[in-house]
């Protein structure tokens, strides 16, 4: 997996970003962890955990994608 420097920081991220918008709604916790594990094994280290995920948004799901990504 090719990596690119993130701006002028010393951080390098994969050219492919894994979106987590279905984590918590379309993908349960176990499937979400499998997806993240396989992504990391493929060299992905860039995960989009936008605060409005998952889709469709529900108040009880707010912040859940961030928790799942941080735990992985």
Q: What are the catalytic residues?
A: 53
16-35: average pLDDT: 88
| Alpha helical stretches, state H, 1-72 | 29-41, 64-71
Residue 23 has a pLDDT of 81
Q: Taking the complete model, does pTM exceed 0.75, yes or no? A: no
20-34: average pLDDT: 86
pLDDT for 28 beyond 70: yes
Model pLDDT for residues 3-25, shown as the tens digit of each residue: 999 999 999 999 999 988 888 77
d(Cα 22, Cα 56) in Å, to the nearest integer? Answer: 8
45-50: average pLDDT: 88
């Amino acid at each position: 997996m090719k990596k690119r420097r993130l701006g002028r920081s010393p951080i390098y991220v994969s050219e492919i970003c894994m979106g987590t918008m279905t984590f918590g709604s379309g993908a349960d916790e176990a499937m979400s962890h499998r997806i993240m594990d396989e992504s990391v094994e493929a060299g992905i280290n860039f995960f989009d955990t936008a605060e409005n995920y998952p889709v469709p948004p529900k108040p009880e799901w707010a912040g859940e994608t961030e928790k799942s990504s941080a735990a992985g």
